[in-house]
Amino acid sequence: MKKLILSFVLITGFYTVNAQTDSLQEYAGTYVFPDGNVVPSVDVTLGGGALSMSSAAGTSALVQLGVDSFSVVEFSGSAVFRRGDDKKVNGVHIEAAGYVMDGKKQQNGIWIFTTYTTYYPPAKREKEMRCRNSGDN
């Protein structure tokens, strides 16, 4: 009976930790600010179960104060994440080091350009070039 209770407690604890990490993951991303702000963007990352915010001005840990509000520890400020009608995080309001900034979360901001090339060993490449030049494809 003790083993059953211990197993239940461990499993429940595991799922609770995973749920907390998943809920913090929704804040992660790049937030872009309008031109003229002290920093052009901030990157919010989740590592080791904790959030941090990085920008050209430096990096700070984020300590959760409420549902969508965090303390920006190293800059003695606060960050309040905004949500859209779909309840997803889509922006952030930051007051830190005497600055007030409102940024939007960058959606699908990574562009990947892939170029595929075929490698031919030198002997095969010469043969391929002869075929192309002679018109005997």
Q: Quick one: DSSP state of residue 39?
A: S
Please, what are the domains in the chain? Answer: 2-109 (2.40.128.50)
pLDDT band at residue 2 using 50, 70 and 90 as cut-offs: low
Judged by DSSP in three states, 1 sits in: coil
Question: Are 91 and 85 within 8 A, CB to CB?
Answer: no
Question: Are 72 and 78 within 8 A, CB to CB?
Answer: yes
Give just the sign of the alpha carbon dihedral 65, 57, 102, 85.
Answer: negative
Q: How many CB atoms lie within 10 A of CB 22?
A: 10
pLDDT digits (tens, 9 = 90+) for 50-105: 999 999 999 999 999 999 999 999 999 999 999 999 999 999 999 998 999 999 99
Q: How many CB atoms lie within 10 A of CB 2?
A: 6
- β-partners of residue 22 are none
Does the predicted model carry a pTM greater than 0.85?
A: no
